[in-house]
Structure 1
């Protein structure tokens, strides 16, 4: 690989890292190509890029981004998962793959400039997704007016029941 190719890889990685909300560094030593392909497909479905990088190139690329705290930690075999929209989806996919494959592991990550260790990535993967959180918030917001309308509808209904009972009582007398 010549100097120009290396500079191009650094620029591409720097651009991707600059846009990413989360960068997860993984160790893939001993994982088969077929398994990595499955991981890449799953990550791609969630809008996440997965790239194997040389440590020196990754250090140079990450040094001037929001994820600069990762630059000094690249050692041995590394690959980076870069998530752009939903950081929870990236963490879930990588963590699930790590559970199913003994040779694959999550080393550390950076979430919008904050360092996360392996436990932090695992904790992030257990959070509900963005869509689930939005659905719960919308359900809560919808419940308040619905309950208010039901409450207001019960007032005339109660009055109607009282009037019906008075009418029935007078007819019986």
Structure 2
């Protein structure tokens, strides 16, 4: 890799570390190409990305960011999972790591908060942003549904009374 390519990669990684909602650092030793492809596909479907990094270049990229505290995680065969949604990347990586013990979650960072493996797994257990939005909409709709039911009930009762009187009139 030429110096210009390295500088471009450092610049790209610097942007990733500065702008991402969450960065998860993993070790991927022993994963084959098919497994890595499956993981990348799952991450892409969730709006996240997974890339293998060169440790020395990643450490250089971390130097001028608020994520510099995770520099010590970059040893051995390292890859990062990145997403804007703080739950997407941790959820997919934790699920994959549970099914495949060759992927080891080392830690990561969310904003200015450094996370260890336990913190990443705690993020993975949280509901996604879309799920939370759905719950909020459901909570907002519930009172409206109840109000409509209460308002419609008297009209329905009057209609049933009239129908009952009409049946009594027909029977007589």
TM interval, short-chain normalised = 0.7 to 0.9
Contact 1:60/1:71 (<8 A) preserved: no
Q: Provide the C-alpha distance between the structure 2 equivalents of 1:156 and 1:47, rounded to a whole number of angstroms.
A: 49
Alignment TM-score, normalising by the size of structure 1: 0.83
Other-structure match for 1:170: none
Deviation at 1:82, TM superposition (A): 1.1
Q: Provide the C-alpha distance between the structure 2 equivalents of 1:161 and 1:80, rounded to a whole number of angstroms.
A: 65
Gap runs ≥5 in structure 2: 162-172
Cα distance change, pair 36–160 in 1 and its aligned pair in 2 (3 A): closer
Deviation at 1:158, TM superposition (A): 6.9
Q: Any idea what SS the aligned residue of 1:51 has?
A: strand
Alignment TM-score, normalising by the size of structure 2: 0.83
Q: Provide the C-alpha distance between the structure 2 equivalents of 1:104 and 1:72, rounded to a whole number of angstroms.
A: 18
Q: Provide the C-alpha distance between the structure 1 equivalents of 2:132 and 2:45, rounded to a whole number of angstroms.
A: 20
Other-structure match for 1:10: 10
Other-structure match for 2:55: 55
Contact 1:68/1:113 (<8 A) preserved: no
Deviation at 1:109, TM superposition (A): 1.2
Q: Any idea what SS the aligned residue of 2:87 has?
A: helix
Q: Provide the C-alpha distance between the structure 2 equivalents of 1:24 and 1:147, rounded to a whole number of angstroms.
A: 44
Q: Provide the C-alpha distance between the structure 2 equivalents of 1:46 and 1:160, rounded to a whole number of angstroms.
A: 51
Contact 2:49/2:89 (<8 A) preserved: no
Other-structure match for 2:130: 131
Contact 1:26/1:108 (<8 A) preserved: yes
Q: Provide the C-alpha distance between the structure 2 equivalents of 1:74 and 1:130, rounded to a whole number of angstroms.
A: 29
Q: Provide the C-alpha distance between the structure 2 equivalents of 1:3 and 1:133, rounded to a whole number of angstroms.
A: 45
Trace 1:1-173 onto structure 2 (pairs within 5 A): 1-84=1-84, 86-154=85-153
Gap runs ≥5 in structure 1: 163-173
